[in-house]
Amino acid sequence: MSHTDAPKGTDYLHADYSIKSWLLTLDHKRIAILYLITISLFLAIGGSMALIIRMELLTPEGDLLMSDTYNKAFTVHGVTLIFFFLIPSIPAVLGNFLIPLMIGARDVAFPRLNLLSWYVFTTGGTLGVIALVVGGVDTGWTFYTPYSTSFSNTAVVTAVFAVFFAGFASIMTGLNFIVTIHKMRAPGLTWSRLPLFIWAQYATSVIMVLGTPVIAITLLLIAAEKTLRIGIFDPALGGDPILFQHLFWFYSHPAVYIMILPSMGVISELIACFSRKRIFGYEFVAYSSIAIAVLGFVVWGHHMFVSGQSMYAGMVFSVLSFLVSIPSAVKIFNWIATMHKGQIRLDSPMLYALGFIGLFTIGGLTGLFLAVMGLDIHVHDTYFVVAHFHYIMVGGAILGFFGGIHFWWPKITGRLYPEILGKLSAVLIFIGFNFTFLPQFIAGYLGMPRRTHSYSEEFQVLNVLSSAGASILASGTIIAVAYLLWSLWYGEKAGRNPWNAKGLEWETSTPPPTTNFERTPTVTEEAYAYGPDDESGEVNNERD
């Protein structure tokens, strides 16, 4: 970067320019940047696979890719985007950067553990890319047995070890955040004054610490069955394939909340700032994060209604799934109520927040179709499910991530991005997304199964629409990446608080100094104290 004018040592970006100072940094802000660069590469890999998949599905015949190649492509897509992008995305980037700043701390509780987590994650990710792209894995991200353990001749063992590594990075991050949030809050920053982003990160961290060990063990069991032929999941060896599904979803359903809860935390910050109002029903929103984390652990069986699980277990999981939808609904209604009598500005981050509310609402409601046992019989493993979880994971998790990146970009990089392009890409992403995934609900109910490179002719119109939408979605994303990179060199320099937002992270200089604050701040008011006397949301890009 060309910050030659900034005196060395003034902020974390310019404290030292050497490669070593980045690779051995203990600064949570620099580790966040390391994570941002790494996961962006995984987003590029997983995203480009999505485009290849959509290209193949333009026609009913499997004419672009061989079936094996297609199977490997959607496995790359799923594994990289879930394990190496979405799960670490907001926690490891925005969480790492913001948690100490938001709570007035100098760093996270265990800076070395933080750096170690990045190395472990990068090792896992690299191994994953080698397994998936060089070797190829054709199991899908779900690694269902006995296919993965006894039938697939692809690099399954390497891939599960890669995910195993990434899981440990996740545990380290979660542990670090829990201790940091408990022990390092600034004087006066009580639990009821915490930003809702912190509550969401806290709930997410609890899931990471409690859930990830289960997937780690499950993945080792896959490796054990595959290499040592110990019968655990394959009935031919005396195992039980349903046991795998229980273990897998015991983690992987809560993992959906690892992806979506941090985004909800971001949205709370954005809605409050761009409505110039305190969040309506702060307690309900805060506790709903905890409720989601807890209830999220007891609904995994709704992935298994048609898989041979007991009917009565299915009923329990179905009713609990309705319960877990309530805290999410509470958040949405409270965000809308927050906008009531606000001073609403539609800057790019707010467009992402509104997009999130729209898409997450549809994603959540279509999730109910799948929680209804009878209806799940028909739509299970069809494109209806594909559409539903993309509404949650892309429409929810990724829009929240993009919204957060735009909101805190000036603080992180010290630069402003071009607002016009920001709005354009937010709108393109929203339109492209709906174009891509709305038709898939219809294709799914018509009966189009997932994970096939060829399909019955009558689904073609819907698939062409979907592929067309994917190109709009991709354009919007590429534009965003382009102007964000451009802004690093040519963007207008950002002031301390360009959005005129509340929160400790905006009180320190931009970019923050290595030590975050010159002196430890004292908190005397609740979060989002946007009072009636503070109604101007005008951009205030004064520099200190």
Residue whose CB is less far from other proteins, 89 or 466? 466
Q: Does 450 bind other proteins (CB under 8 A)?
A: yes
437: Cβ–Cβ under 8 A, 6 or more apart, which residues? 386, 387, 390, 391, 394, 395, 466, 469
CB of 539 to other proteins, least distance (A): 11
Helix (H, G, I), strand (E, B) or coil at 449: strand
Amino acid at 365: L
Give the residue among 387, 393, 519, 463 at the shortest CA–CA distance from 61.
463
CB of 305 to other proteins, least distance (A): 7
Query: Between the CA of residue 71 and those of 4, 395, 399, what are the distances in Å?
Result: 49, 24, 27
Taking a C-beta distance cutoff of 8 angstroms, is the pair 49, 76 a contact? Answer: yes
Side-chain half-sphere exposure of 425, counting CA atoms within 13 A: 22
Size of the site for other proteins (CB under 8 A): 94
* Choices 86-94, 112-120, 150-158, 478-486; region in contact with other proteins by CB under 8 A: 150-158
In our burial notation (b when 16+ CB lie closer than 10 A, e otherwise), range 340-377 reads eebebbebbbbbbbbbbbbbbbbbbebbebbbebeebe
Q: Does 339 bind other proteins (CB under 8 A)?
A: yes
Window 208-247: residues binding other proteins (CB under 8 A) = 234-236, 240-242
Quick one: which of 226, 253, 302, 380 contacts other proteins (CB under 8 A)?
A: 380
Quick one: which of 64, 113, 186, 369 contacts other proteins (CB under 8 A)?
A: 369
Window 305-334: residues binding other proteins (CB under 8 A) = 305-308, 311, 314-315, 318-319, 322-323, 325-326, 329-330, 332-334
Element (H, E) at 227: helix 196-228
Window 159-218: residues binding other proteins (CB under 8 A) = none
Q: Does 287 bind other proteins (CB under 8 A)?
A: no
Dihedral of CA 302/330/503/524: which sign? Answer: negative
Window 68-87: residues binding other proteins (CB under 8 A) = 68, 70-71
Taking a C-beta distance cutoff of 8 angstroms, is the pair 234, 145 a contact? Answer: yes
Strand partners, 493: 415
Q: Does 486 bind other proteins (CB under 8 A)?
A: no
Window 100-139: residues binding other proteins (CB under 8 A) = 138
Residue whose CB is less far from other proteins, 120 or 194? 194
**Distance in angstroms (rounded) separating the CA atoms of residues 15 and 13:** 6
Q: Does 381 bind other proteins (CB under 8 A)?
A: yes
Q: Does 388 bind other proteins (CB under 8 A)?
A: no
Window 516-535: residues binding other proteins (CB under 8 A) = 532, 535
Residue whose CB is less far from other proteins, 70 or 251? 70
Diameter over CA atoms, the chain: 72
* Choices 28-36, 40-48, 341-349, 500-508; region in contact with other proteins by CB under 8 A: 341-349
Q: Does 352 bind other proteins (CB under 8 A)?
A: no
